[in-house]
Amino acid sequence: MPLVEKGMDVAQQILTSVAEAGTHLEDDDIVAVADKILAIAVGRVVDYTRVEPSFKAMKLAEKSDLEPGFVELVLREAEHVYGSVPKALMTMKHGVLVANAGIDHKNAPPNHACLWPEEPNATAEVLRHSLQELTGKRLGVLLVDSHVAPLRMGTVGFALGLAGFEPIRDCRGALDLYGKPLLITRMNLADDLASAAHLAMGETDERVPVVIVRGAPVKVTDQYDSGALRIPVSQDIYLTVFQGMEKTV
């Protein structure tokens, strides 16, 4: 795809690029989209050299080897900041543990950073509506970003927002190979698909911000719960176990 600019009609550009690739969208396709192109299209790109940093931001910037204006953006966007390592602050944003509140230097102009869409699930729903209106097809939409998992090297894709399909498969009560009922297992279909799409998209200059997912074992439907991906902090294995050791900034 071409570089996305503020004001671009992303839905129309997706369909143009799909046609140029010699294909088309079909019923039950899930259109996986890098969240960054949607954020850029609505102007969620900030020149952080023009952001006035607070004293707190300047101290954190020195500690984490980040630009003070960039850190100030993180502090404004994050729901919670837990601590830092070089080049990253661990934060909570939209119920997701993620570096730098999802704010990213990568694939943004020099001295600029790209913020997440303000409401990722609503953004996915708007895009889904536009694509369905333009194509007449029944579709799902998945907003894809990348993050790092505890004690694992490298980025993996995850579902930042979604629309039009059930993101979780509840396996509780089903039997395993030995006839034992599963007690807590639920499959995160949305993150599984996002990770596969992320592999096709890449992280550098590939210019592949859209992936068509076809034939995946998910149900495309208007009756879906985009909030099903979230788990309360009180039930989360990571935060619950480490809560006593948490160092809050």
- Residue ranges and CATH numbers for the domains of the chain are 1-41+117-229 (3.30.1330.100), 45-115 (3.90.1660.10)
Q: What is the pLDDT of residue 234?
A: 87
The pLDDT score that the predictor gives to residue 106 is 92
The separation between CA 181 and the C-alpha centre of its own chain, rounded to angstroms, equals 32
Give the model's pLDDT for residue 241: 80
Amino acid at 93: K
Whole-number pLDDT of residue 201: 97
Contact assessment for residue 167 and residue 190, using Cβ atoms and an 8 Å cutoff: yes
b/e map 209-223, b = 16+ CB within 10 Å: bbbbbeebebebeee
* Ranges in the chain, pLDDT < 50: 246
pLDDT of residue 184: 94
b or e along 92-108 (b: 16 or more beta carbons within 10 Å of the residue's beta carbon)?
Answer: bbbebbbbbbbbbbebb
Rounded to an integer, what distance in angstroms lies between the CA atom of residue 92 and that of residue 73? 14
CB of 41 closer than 8 Å to CB of 7: yes
- pLDDT for 247: 52
